[in-house]
Amino acid sequence: MLVVMKQDATDDDVKGVLARLKDANLEGHLSPGEERVVIGAVGVINDPDIRPAVGRMSGVEEVIAISRPYKLTGREFQPEDTVIDVGGVKIGDGTLTVMAGPCSIESEEHMVATACAVRDAGAQIIRGGAFKPRTSPYSFRGLGEEGLQHLATAREATGLPVITEVMSERDVEVVARYADVLQIGTRNMQNFTLLDEVGLTRKPVMLKRGLTATIDEWLLAAEYVMAKGNRDVILCERGIRTFETATRNTLDLSAIPVVKRLSHLPIISDPSHGTGHWYLVEPMARASMAVGADGLMVEVHPSPDHALSDGPQSLTFENFAELMESLAKVGEAVGHPLAPQPATALAMAGG
């Protein structure tokens, strides 16, 4: 349930409601709005009198029962869009943030060269995989902490924040030491132990949609992270598995406006995994921007034919530069501009 406080409610009023919820074995989560505070009560309601009891308390405007299974991720809890600051890059503020880089980090030279190329083309965040979940155990599975070190070197070389995937709860601490954003991949969307663990960090978390997950299941997975105290969650539509074989997955563009209606969390699109073909990345990236995506995740490699993973869906440096030029035009047409790069990157690039 949601407890909407009056505009003139005092701090003591809010503390009183939180204490009453705690007595009922409910956890209260504050969402301070511009005009009033909303408290989300999370847990199993065993006391049928708790709603009217809270409704009578000092400073309470109304108590609203929530029918949707997710509480903290929904717009009922927070009507205003969540805006997440990642090293000076704002995600969810009405601009488009582009995260770009290789699927797998292969060497320091490779990572730095790719990071500089995507920065020079206008990307705002660097992506790169150090721990790689692969269908076959014999495929390249990443460099581990060595790869994270190369990613940190790329950040130092470009001035851009970095995002990388964490696959296991035992790796959260080491990945958080290097990364600015922790990525939860599609195979781990319902790894609830891992979701709990990243929820305890204070690093932003990007949660990819599972291969066969419904939107409700996806938002409930985000709820796990938020319920542990981490409010900086970014959702990523990366394609779902359907009967279609012409593409690697089916990029569900309709999920973007649906999520925008249901949730206050920012949502980005991954046209690389969503299609599996480099020549489809640009049109699907443009389409994602047009329907309101807050960002894009794009795989880029200096020589996709020699990439250790996901070469067929990776853009070359030249392709990526063309994509960014195209997105600038789409953004101008639909009133959805590209996000500016952080000041650190502009200074290092001479901008």
- Residue 90's φ and ψ, nearest 5 degrees, are -95, 125
Is pLDDT of 148 > 60? yes
Q: Return d(Cα 328, Cα 346) in angstroms, integer.
A: 18
207/338 same-domain check? yes
What is the residue whose two structure tokens read 């640009």? 282
pLDDT band at 21 (very low <50, low <70, confident <90, very high): very high
Give the list of residues 6+ apart from residue 340 with CB closer than 8 angstroms, or none. 95, 124, 346
Q: Are residues 33 and 174 in the same domain?
A: no
pLDDT score at 173: 95
| Domain with 58 in it | 2-64
- Are residues 148 and 103 both part of a single domain? yes
Give the per-residue pLDDT at 143: 83
Tokens of residue 79, six digits: 């009507």
pLDDT by residue (tens digit) across 149-189? Answer: 999 999 999 999 999 999 999 999 999 999 999 999 999 99
Percent of the chain with pLDDT over 70: 96
- Tokens in use for 179? 């990364």
Across 308-315, average pLDDT: 93
- Residue 269 contacts residue 237 (beta carbons within 8 Å): yes
* Section 79-108 average pLDDT: 96
Q: Given pLDDT bands bounded at 50, 70 and 90, which one contains residue 92?
A: very high
**Can you tell me the distance from the alpha carbon of 126 to that of 312, in angstroms, rounded to the nearest whole number?**
20
What mean pLDDT is reported for the chain? Answer: 93
CA 272 to chain centre: 16
Give me the pLDDT at residue 83, please: 97
Judge whether residue 56 has pLDDT over 60: yes
What is the domain count for the chain? 2
Compute and round to an integer the Cα radius of gyration of the chain.
21
Spatial distance between the Cα atoms of 176 and 259, rounded to a whole number of angstroms:
27
Residue 99's DSSP bridge partners are 125, 297
247: Cα within 13 Å, side-chain hemisphere: 21
Q: Which of 120, 341, 332, 70 lies closest to 225 in space, CA to CA? A: 70
Residue 135 has pLDDT above 70, yes or no: no
Task: For residues 77 and 30, give the distance between their C-alpha atoms in angstroms, rounded to a whole number.
Answer: 9
Averaged pLDDT for residues 9-21: 95
Regarding predicted confidence, which is higher, 344 or 15?
15
| Residue 73 domain flag | no
Residue 32 and residue 5: Cα distance in Å, rounded? 10
Please compute the mean of the pLDDT values over residues 51-76 and round it to a whole number: 91
Q: What CATH number is attached to the domain comprising 290?
A: 3.20.20.70
Element (H, E) at 61: strand 60-64
What is the rounded distance in angstroms from the CA atom of residue 160 to the CA atom of residue 184? 20
For residues 23-41, give the mean pLDDT.
88
- pLDDT for residue 351 is more than 50: no
Q: Are 106 and 30 members of one domain?
A: no
Answer yes or no: do 43 and 112 share one domain.
no
**Residue 177, domain member (yes or no):** yes
User: Regarding predicted confidence, which is higher, 64 or 193?
Assistant: 193
- The secondary element (H helix, E strand) that includes residue 285 is helix 278-290
Query: Are 254 and 131 in the same domain?
Result: yes
CATH number of the domain within which 7 lies: 3.30.70.1140
Is residue 89 within 8 A of residue 342, CB to CB? The reply is: yes
Do residues 44 and 103 share a domain?
no
57 and 115 fall within a common domain: no
Bridge partner residues of 234 (DSSP): 206
More confident: 48 or 245:
245
Residues 40, 122, single domain; the answer is no
Residue 191 lies in a domain: yes
pLDDT of residue 136: 67
Q: Are residues 317 and 202 in the same domain?
A: yes
In a domain, 303, yes or no: yes
Q: Is the dihedral of CA 232, 42, 50, 263 positive or negative?
A: positive
141 pLDDT more than 80: no
Domain check: are 51 and 167 in the same one? Answer: no
